[in-house]
Amino acid sequence: MGSGSVAEVARIPVGIVTACATAKALDALVVPGRATGCRVAEDELLFVCDPDVPGEVTREVETRLTVVDPDAVVLDTTDGWTAVRIDGDGARIVFASCSRLRLPERGFVQGDVARVPAKVFADDGGILVLAPSAFEHHLLARLRSVAEVPTS
């Protein structure tokens, strides 16, 4: 990217679990230690976990939620998502070139990334973008093309 700014864009494996329940049940839920929970709607939580444990996270969340909301639905939705990691000194520049979202230093936001509906996690190491799997090729191509453009 020029001027010493370098960003790497890569698809990475993650597990995704989606939980739908009453707001009260979700508010009371203790998130499993092996997952990061993000409230994407009043009645929906998305959990990101290691790709080896979504089945365990699904069972644990379902067991906990159905105590408060017997109609809760908890599903392993890993196959419906693609995860793209942007790392390196230029990660925020690449992201800003593809989205108008205000990225926190650490945390979660959701909205448009490269014209794709996305869930975005920022941390000290970089940026994780989750998008519906049907958009994988477009998202990777767009982010990689921006990462390859030199800046001065």
pLDDT at 2: 43
* Average pLDDT taken over every residue of the chain: 93
pLDDT higher than threshold 90 for residue 152? no
Residues linked to residue 69 through DSSP beta bridges, in sequence order: none
Average pLDDT over residues 142-147: 94
* Average confidence (pLDDT) over 130-151: 90
**Short-list 35, 5, 46, 9, CA closest to 145:** 9
- Global pTM reads 0.90
Q: Does domain 15-79 have CATH number 3.40.50.2000?
A: no
Buried b (16+ CB within 10 A) or exposed e, 95-115: bebbbebebeeeebbbeebbe
Q: Could you give the CA distance from residue 29 to residue 123 in angstroms, rounded to a whole number?
A: 23
pLDDT at 80: 97
pLDDT digits (tens, 9 = 90+) for 44-78: 999 999 999 999 999 999 999 999 999 999 999 99
CATH number of 8-12+80-148: 3.30.1360.120
Where are the chain's structural domains? 8-12+80-148, 15-79
Q: How far apart are CA 101 and CA 94, in angstroms?
A: 12
Q: Which region among 3-12, 14-23, 141-150 has the lowest average model confidence (pLDDT)?
A: 3-12
pLDDT at 149 over 80: no
